Chains A and B, each alone.
Chain A
């Protein structure tokens, strides 16, 4: 059970290096500011409606939907950034620091070291993704009364997005130095986002653009996962709401359709197979 020891060690390292504490304090600060902001905005909007003699209930729900999309996009960016910063030195950093030299000769398989570290970070970031998402949606619900019907499906998409990024970083960590790993992760993550904007700007019947963005989604499915999440953040009975439809909020940041099962399967495989390749590479790597 060497992998369990490495996972525990990774969690212990996160605690001892005040990673959890820093994350908790900054997140709390962000949530408090967000709460104050949404409180002020919703209060003012409702007061205006009351002053004009109109019912503020439906506009408040609409505002809740819009704020949920924006807030969860922020969550997606925060989680992706955290994933890159926290895990970038997971393998290559330890190799460069020479700390593996005293661990690898111990009676445990190299695969256990990589799996243990991957699992440790997956647990930390998975929990963070869940708590941060719930906290934002909870605050929005508190002030607007809006709670996405498929909230947990959306969070699941964000979790897969995080695992996709973690998988890529794990893979690159076994092959290239830390700086190169960081550059690859940032470039691909940004590239996937930019391709969404390009796709939005170009007419839908441009098959070449569609093919390119499809290939980019296969190489880096994080943005596709966000779009999948955004679809589930809209209310299920959206058509019932007056003056509000999915197509009316069609932006580079949102999706009008759920993610295809094929792409979802690809992303899940991606997040699992890449660490496996990293393990295979690390087995033979000279330290």
Chain B
């Protein structure tokens, strides 16, 4: 995203002050209500008795590995598929309610758009589908192209766009209607690190503007950074729901690399930490569990006190897979 884009509209300009007031009034009113949702394809159960509620203006993350049932839920929310059982309401209405759809923006996981369209035509067409038109739509399209860093690409055909550019133009079409709820399905998948960072920053800006976000992702970093609350889904079932801090509330694991591992070092480090063990993959590395940053500093001090040289000390974040295993294990009790 260009710097110019960041400063273009004095804030994203997606929500006017009147709309902001409306959004503020609507805070606390559910954006998405999912009640005992069930979806089966023949004998294959994709979603099994899932229930949750998200608030307006809230950034809600839907986290799970591939095949967990995340996209199925998103497709039900956007009316692409119907549920087998259960009830879904978006912004207080059934998914089929056309006026409600006017207030929803959706970026699909795969940006499969009509390749023969030029960027400007693409936004014009989708804007017209939202009921927009004329000069306001042209202005809005231009603003959004600038916002997503595609200024100058108005006349370029989508067939010539890179994956990152398609994701960005896809996000632009989802913002055409100044949505109250933005549903994003894996918005950073397939993007390079720079593209991922830009997309993440853009979503954060939208969140700051007060737009409700439903973020479907398997990228732990994205969800943790952006979302107020997170739901973890696995094998079609909701395992856990809550703020990221509570979901990820677990001992911090430090990777400590030293020049030698002695019994004295292990004793000293063990005394100031929750647990310590040698890394099987690297004999000069210790894995140390601590409760907080203070304990991490104590570990560093203990290493120095033992006369050992400390090469590196860095936190090891649990992978999503590990987090899931933990969540699944804990859910069995």
Q: By the criterion CB–CB under 8 Å, are B82 and A104 in contact?
A: no
Interface of A toward B, CB cutoff 8 Å: 2, 5, 9, 13, 16-17, 97-99, 101-109, 284, 286-287
Q: By the criterion CB–CB under 8 Å, are B129 and A106 in contact?
A: yes
Report Cα–Cα, A105/B99, bound state, in Å: 12
Report Cα–Cα, A106/B79, bound state, in Å: 9
Asked if B152 is at the interface (CB within 8 A of a chain A CB), the reply is no
Q: Which of B99, B108, B116 contacts A107 (CB 8 A)?
A: B99
User: Can you list 12 A-B pairs with a CB-CB distance of less than 8 A?
Assistant: A9-B125, A98-B108, A102-B108, A102-B112, A103-B129, A105-B104, A106-B126, A107-B130, A109-B98, A286-B75, A286-B80, A286-B82
Q: By the criterion CB–CB under 8 Å, are B128 and A105 in contact?
A: no
Q: Which residues from chain B contact A109 at a C-beta distance below 8 Å?
A: 98
Q: By the criterion CB–CB under 8 Å, are A284 and B82 in contact?
A: yes
How many interface contacts (CB-CB < 8 Å) are there between A and B? 60
Q: By the criterion CB–CB under 8 Å, are A287 and B98 in contact?
A: no
Asked if B167 is at the interface (CB within 8 A of a chain A CB), the reply is no
- With contacts A105-B106, A107-B102 taken as known, whether A17 is within 8 angstroms of B80 at the C-beta atoms is no
Task: Output the least CB separation between B114 and chain A (Å).
Answer: 6
Given contacts A101-B80, A102-B173, 16 further A-B contacts (CB under 8 A): A5-B129, A9-B125, A97-B112, A98-B110, A98-B112, A101-B110, A102-B108, A102-B112, A105-B78, A105-B80, A105-B106, A107-B98, A107-B131, A108-B98, A284-B82, A287-B75
Q: Which residues from chain B contact A17 at a C-beta distance below 8 Å?
A: 116
Q: Mark B249-272, 1 if CB is under 8 A from A, else 0.
A: 000000000000000000000000
Give the residues from 96 to 124 in chain B that come closer than 8 angstroms, CB to CB, to chain A.
98-99, 101-102, 104, 106, 108, 110, 112-114, 116-117
Asked if B164 is at the interface (CB within 8 A of a chain A CB), the reply is no
Report Cα–Cα, A162/B79, bound state, in Å: 33
Q: Which residues from chain A contact B117 at a C-beta distance below 8 Å?
A: 16
Q: Which residues from chain A contact B80 at a C-beta distance below 8 Å?
A: 101, 104-105, 286-287
The B interface, classified by DSSP as helix, strand, loop or mixed, is: loop
Give the residues from 18 to 39 in chain B that come closer than 8 angstroms, CB to CB, to chain A.
none
| Closest residue on chain B to residue A105 by CB atoms | B78
Report Cα–Cα, A263/B43, bound state, in Å: 44
Q: Which residues from chain B contact A101 at a C-beta distance below 8 Å?
A: 80, 108, 110, 112
Q: By the criterion CB–CB under 8 Å, are B129 and A107 in contact?
A: yes
Q: Which among A2, A99, A106 has the greatest number of chain B C-beta atoms within 10 A?
A: A106
Q: Which residues from chain A contact B82 at a C-beta distance below 8 Å?
A: 284, 286
Task: Output the least CB separation between B144 and chain A (Å).
Answer: 15
Asked if B170 is at the interface (CB within 8 A of a chain A CB), the reply is yes
Q: Which among B98, B99, B114, B128 has the greatest number of chain A C-beta atoms within 10 A?
A: B114
Task: Output the least CB separation between A53 and chain B (Å).
Answer: 62
Asked if B81 is at the interface (CB within 8 A of a chain A CB), the reply is yes
Task: Output the least CB separation between B266 and chain A (Å).
Answer: 55
- With contacts A9-B125, A98-B108, A98-B110 taken as known, whether A106 is within 8 angstroms of B130 at the C-beta atoms is yes
| Closest residue on chain B to residue A100 by CB atoms | B80
